[in-house]
Amino acid sequence: MPVRRGSEQGMTLIEVLVALVIVAIALAAVIRSVNAGVVNTDYLKQRNIAHWVAMNYASELQLQLSTAKANGQHEIEMAGQTWQLQSKASQTADSDILRVEIRVKKDGDAESSLASLITYVAKP
């Protein structure tokens, strides 16, 4: 390895550019990773709230506060957002019990449901 003298000490322009390219690639990977984490966190938050909506609705049905709403589509407000809830009741082997399937999605979202739940309700 040749020894550098006086004015030749330090890094060349090409060495600096190579170092900058390596740093830029590493920063791009870090930014992509952080972005993926933020997107996943928001998705999990939405799923969690949707599950709460379904659980609250199932509790209302089980307490027989709104058995007339065992079938159909409903709009529910929770956590500052509007949620579309679809419930479908069906018969079970026991004629006194209904099986109710509940699906929840965010208002205006055409995607599949964020949460689904099955509960059993006694007929009034």
Give the whole-angstrom CA distance, residue 106 versus residue 46: 8
Q: How confident is the model at residue 25 (pLDDT cuts 50, 70, 90)?
A: very high
pLDDT band at 5 (very low <50, low <70, confident <90, very high): low
What is residue 96's predicted lDDT score, i.e. its pLDDT?
Answer: 87
Q: Model-level pTM? A: 0.73
In order of their start, the domains of the chain are 11-122 (3.30.1300.30)
Strands 81-91, 97-106: parallel, antiparallel or unpaired by DSSP? antiparallel
Averaged pLDDT, 12-40 = 94
Distance (Å, whole) CA 111 – CA 79: 20
Per-residue model confidence as pLDDT tens digits over 93-117:
998 888 999 999 987 777 778 999 9
Instruction: Report pLDDT for 116.
Output: 94
List, in sequence order, the alpha helices (H) in the chain: 13-62
